[in-house]
Amino acid sequence: MSVNTISPNKTVDESRQGEAFAVVADKPHEGPLFYIESYGCAMNFSDSEIVASILGECGYAATRNMEESDLILINTCSIREKAEDTVRKRLRIFNKLKKKRPGVLIGVLGCMAERLKTKLLEQEKLVDIVVGPDAYRDLPKLINTATDGEKGINVHLSREETYADISPVRLESNGISAFISIMRGCDNMCSFCVVPFTRGRERSRDTFSIIAEATALFKEGYREVTLLGQNVDSYKWSNPETEESVNFAQLLEMVAQVDPLLRVRFSTSHPKDITDEVLHTIAKYDNICKYIHLPAQSGNSRILKLMNRTYDREWYMERVEAIRRIIPDCAISSDMITGFCTETEEEHQDTLSLIEFAKYSMSYMFFYSERPGTLAARKYEDDIPLDVKKRRLSEVIEVQHRVQLALNQKDIGKTFEVLIEGDSKRSADEWRGRNSQNTMMIFPKTAVGQPGEYVMVKALSTSTTTLRGEQV
């Protein structure tokens, strides 16, 4: 199985596992320095920007050099066992540094901190500070506690915290794309998922602060924002003064109206909640990207019921058809889990056929990893052998790549509006940028266009993941 990596200059999509995200102070700083790595989903990377802001208020600055840092933080993911294993390996490396510099503090943030709590402090003895996703405001106090020789821990889950009043520090930003968190937590108790236990109940951030953040980002030169939530379609905020409520479709329209040059993306949509109102809003505005991440997880109705996804295969297919009908040029991506409890070969074939039906532009694909404390771990036996899980995953990947390549081949000869993000990874003579459908496009530099500007690019050739073209 191949794992998607996250580089400091690359937009992170929901559910993507990745490598470290280290941040750096651009200016000399005489005070204490912190170093942070983030793993997992886009929400974790967004949270790290909130943490950087909180630490900045108490005198810390970021560094890319772990060796010189006074505080080492790792923002963690618990969605799969492999993610937690990666974090433990990093913590052991951090502790080797701590032996050389005993004054260095090590902290675990995020979902793994919430799930394991005191185990990280007392049993594994790898860290000095443990902070859950809703307790980042408490970091300065916890740092002081750890400095005094005691362990600092706060994993309290809140029903109110949204960090709406904190202006995130855009870590290693390309100055073009930014995340905006619109809600926190999740009320969907999918049987395989730890998120409701590590991030708490859903609560939506107030609309005014979201619009203000998007407006400020545009004025600073950003040209793309991604609205983040575990389930953005369930966004709902009520104005306490007027008692009027704002749903996700209305919020999406308000952000799109900040400026026509501000591209708007969002992640993640839940198939049970995405409405025709949202789809018509996307169709209405050119600057709302024609791309929807709509995780299916499985193509079989019985497995979906065991997963507690609260929709069946037919419902999901109807939502795909609605997207095609209302937004004909919309790209759809997904998440897929193979080898869930009791999954048969016939049910696995349903997943393969759903990929063919939905024609996903990309997908995050994993084999099932039982997570302690989840409904599935309590109720169902993880009874699919690992070799079967991996073989089914390979088949899912093969079908997805074939569908993906066919979609890209159909785009050859078409011209797309592309937002230039920066140099391509392989050549300083080429630009990279994405079209509205979220496909990466690589094209030679000309006298026209700089990062943050829109250019028209004609697709001339393709790989499974990338279109190559030229400006027109």
59 and 38 in a common domain? yes
Reported as a pLDDT band with limits 50, 70 and 90, residue 29 is: low
72 lies in which domain range?
33-154
Tell me, yes or no, whether 9 lies in a domain. no
16 pLDDT exceeds 50?
A: no
Q: Work out the average pLDDT over 131-137.
A: 93
State the CATH number of the domain containing residue 127.
3.40.50.12160
379 and 283 in a common domain? no
Tell me, yes or no, whether 419 lies in a domain. yes
Tell me, yes or no, whether 160 lies in a domain. no
397 and 298 in a common domain? yes
77-91, 143-157, 191-205, 272-286: which has the minimum mean pLDDT? 77-91
State the pTM of this model.
0.89
Tell me, yes or no, whether 18 lies in a domain. no
18-22, 120-124, 132-136, 155-159: which has the minimum mean pLDDT? 18-22
Coil/strand/helix, residue 257: coil
389 and 279 in a common domain? no
Reported as a pLDDT band with limits 50, 70 and 90, residue 7 is: very low
Final residue in a domain of this structure, among 386, 407, 428: 407
State the CATH number of the domain containing residue 466.
2.40.50.140
Tell me, yes or no, whether 339 lies in a domain. yes
Would you give the end-to-end CA distance of the chain in angstroms?
A: 38
84 and 47 in a common domain? yes
If one counts the domains in the chain, the total is: 4
CA 294/CA 15 separation, integer angstroms: 12
Reported as a pLDDT band with limits 50, 70 and 90, residue 10 is: very low
Answer for the pair 162, 210: CB distance below 8 angstroms, yes or no.
Answer: no
380 pLDDT exceeds 80?
A: yes
CA 214/CA 210 separation, integer angstroms: 6
Final residue in a domain of this structure, among 367, 385, 407: 407
Q: Work out the average pLDDT over 246-271.
A: 97
307 and 268 in a common domain? no
Final residue in a domain of this structure, among 271, 289, 307: 289
State the CATH number of the domain containing residue 198.
3.30.750.210
364 and 264 in a common domain? no
353 and 300 in a common domain? yes
State the CATH number of the domain containing residue 385.
3.30.750.200
Tell me, yes or no, whether 316 lies in a domain. yes
Q: Work out the average pLDDT over 96-114.
A: 91
Q: Where are the alpha helices (DSSP H) in 327-436?
A: 345-358, 375-379, 386-411
Phi and psi dihedrals of 411, rounded to 5? -85, -10
24 pLDDT exceeds 80?
A: no
Higher pLDDT: 6 or 96? It is 96
Tell me, yes or no, whether 10 lies in a domain. no
432 and 392 in a common domain? no
305 and 283 in a common domain? no
pLDDT at residue 28, rounded to an integer? 57
Answer for the pair 64, 57: CB distance below 8 angstroms, yes or no.
Answer: no
Answer for the pair 408, 437: CB distance below 8 angstroms, yes or no.
Answer: no
250 and 218 in a common domain? yes
* Burial grade of 220 (CB within 10 A; 0-12, 13-18, 19 or more): exposed
Q: Work out the average pLDDT over 431-438.
A: 97
284 and 299 in a common domain? no
Tell me, yes or no, whether 221 lies in a domain. yes
CA 179/CA 38 separation, integer angstroms: 14
